[in-house]
Amino acid sequence: MKGKRLGLRKWLGLKLFKGLYDKAVEQHELRTLFWECTLRCNLRCRHCGSDCRVDVEEQDMPLADFLRVLDEEVTPNTDPSRVLIIFSGGEVLVRPDLETAGHEVTRRGYKWGMVTNGMALTRERLYSLVNAGLRSVSVSFDGFEDAHNHIRQNRLSFERARDAIRHIRSVEGLAYDVITCVTPAMIDRLEEWKEFLISEGIERWRIFSIFPAGRAANDPTLHLTTEQYRRLMEFVRTTRREGCIKLNYACEGFLGGYEAEVRDHFYMCTAGVSVASIRVNGDISGCTSVRANYTQGNIYRDSFWDVWQNRFKPFRDRAWTKKDECEGCKVWEFCRGGGMHLRDEEGKLMYCHYNMLK
Amino acid sequence: MNAKLKIALLALLGFSTASCASKRAAKKSSDKEMQKIETDTVDTRIMLMYGVPMPDGRPVMIVEDEKTMDAKEFPDGSLVKPISEEEAKRLIDQMRAEEQPDSLDLQISVMYGVPFPDGEVVHEVSESEVNAKAFEDGSLVKPVSEEEAQRLIEKMRAEEKAEK
């Protein structure tokens, strides 16, 4: 079983990759733009990092406001064909103007995708979205019916997600994957779950584990133990070697000996480096997983492009993370303090994946 | 050491997927069902936690497209198939009928002190959406007025209250 230890080959690879990361930071080319278009949701999942709900105080951002940012700030400064726009939420399908949004974004030369829980993704809605330019979609699918419905707190959610995936598979060329949030309830059934996904014809699968943010922070039953976490890493590694399904572990954190074995790439937190987000209230930040307040500006007050070019210092220069348990850590040069989403309001690291691997 | 050399060395070490890009041309096809052909650069990106896979530039084609047969074609050639009000109402009624929370879920919702989600699709298709118009530039604009949004929110709140 692998652990924290890096072999010479991997150490050399990481050293080389470090240089590429520095280059990416220096260039900070905007490649992914999240638009958190709503915080409303038709589910109330136990592990929701955004703490979304049906009844939210925050109004959806008007489409015109987002399009203004694209037209005045992003399009003149980028090649739209190189920027992927991701509609995120909340649950994006609760927005009645999603097709309009997709159509407008496509008309401007951007590719766009969305993340959904699948509850409201009927065949008709999907086709309508595909016709509005949808090119990529990710569906949350957290395990067998009991586990999925438990975590989603809705007894129809498994069936709806499965149906949504089947509809998606009927659109050739539409990039998609399913995302499984692995909880202790699923750790013993991963092999069986994998077989189920393969039998459904699913080709791409992404796994992540709970990080302590939003509602998940207060539910210890969702968190993996050290032993379970190591088993998860072994499972991902073995599955990738088998090659029956294209599995990736999400960009959670640096993984020592498992680097480049559980993901297609070495660990790198691209929040604020090539990924930006526009929050529902107009806040400009890195990736939407970053829930603590690392807001760099607001589209209603600031120029998005000016913010992207000239701020984002905490994201691009992570030297400030070299404190507490990261101080003196021998892999900091590769890890740089872990993902920004793992830092709390005071900058403290909430969770170290590397330390989970003994 | 420049980036290309680093990538080459990474490949030599067996880490070829760490950073790469390739071109794939869309296949030509005479298939009438094919709606769009795209040519694009495929680039490997860091798989973000809540991101989506990068579209690989393949042509997108609905295999089972019988449902789009009656879709309307707008001036820019795009197909838009709005759900009719009756269809939306039927789906919502069906979901409501199905969504009788079982006792386990009720217990859990009490334990955490939050209302149990009723599984309702929040979006109801309004008449103005169904009658959406295409503008001269080809864009389809289906605005929801502030009053309409307010009405929907109030309706949701009232229903939630009634559920409690």
Using an 8 Å Cβ cutoff, are A263 and B47 in contact? yes
Using an 8 Å Cβ cutoff, are A222 and A46 in contact? yes
Using an 8 Å Cβ cutoff, are A259 and A253 in contact? no
Q: Which residues, listed in sequence order, are joined to residue A180 by a DSSP beta bridge?
A: A207
At A229, phi and psi to the nearest 5?
Answer: -65, -40
How confident is the model at residue A289, as a pLDDT?
86
Tens digits of residue pLDDT in A213-241: 777 777 888 889 999 999 999 999 999 99
How confident is the model at residue B77, as a pLDDT?
55
How confident is the model at residue B70, as a pLDDT?
47
DSSP 3-state percent helix, strand, coil across chain B (nearest 5): 40, 10, 50
DSSP annotation of B148: H
Pairing relation of β-strands A84-88 and A111-116? parallel
Are A84 and B54 a contacting pair at CB < 8 A? yes
Q: How far is CA B34 from CA A94, A128, B26, B55, B105, in A?
A: 29, 15, 12, 17, 45
Residue B150: count of CB within 10 angstroms of its CB:
12
| Nearest C-alpha neighbor of A342 from the set A353, A355, A356, A328 | A353
The residue ranges of chain A whose pLDDT is under 50 are none
Count H helices and E strands in chain A, helices first. Answer: 13, 11
| Nearest C-alpha neighbor of A293 from the set A285, A301, A282 | A285
At A297, phi and psi to the nearest 5?
Answer: 175, -175
Using an 8 Å Cβ cutoff, are A160 and A119 in contact? yes
At A9, phi and psi to the nearest 5?
Answer: -60, -45
How confident is the model at residue B129, as a pLDDT?
44
Region at B62 (left for phi over 0; alpha for psi -120 to 50; beta for the rest): beta
Q: How far is CA A134 from CA A110, A153, A220, in A?
A: 10, 28, 37
**Test the B interface: residue of A9, A15, A16 with most B CBs within 10 Å:** A16
Cα separation, B149 vs B157, in Å, equals 12
Tens digits of residue pLDDT in A287-325: 988 878 899 999 999 999 999 999 999 999 999 999 999
Full pLDDT tens readout for chain B, 164 residues: 788 888 888 888 888 665 543 333 334 444 444 444 343 334 556 666 678 888 887 788 877 554 444 445 555 555 555 566 777 777 777 766 665 444 333 322 223 222 333 333 333 334 444 444 444 554 444 456 778 777 878 888 888 888 77
Cα separation, A89 vs A35, in Å, equals 8
- Measured over all CA atoms, what is the biggest interatomic distance in chain B, rounded to whole angstroms? 67
Give me the residue from B62, B116, B153 closest to A171, CB to CB. Answer: B62
How confident is the model at residue B159, as a pLDDT?
84
The CA distance from B122 to the nearest CA of chain A, in Å, is: 5
Cα separation, A128 vs A130, in Å, equals 6
**Test the B interface: residue of A172, A221, A247, A279 with most B CBs within 10 Å:** A172
Interface list for A 300-339 with B (CB within 8 A): none
Are A130 and B62 a contacting pair at CB < 8 A? yes
Are A94 and B6 a contacting pair at CB < 8 A? no
How confident is the model at residue B45, as a pLDDT?
64
Using an 8 Å Cβ cutoff, are B7 and A24 in contact? no
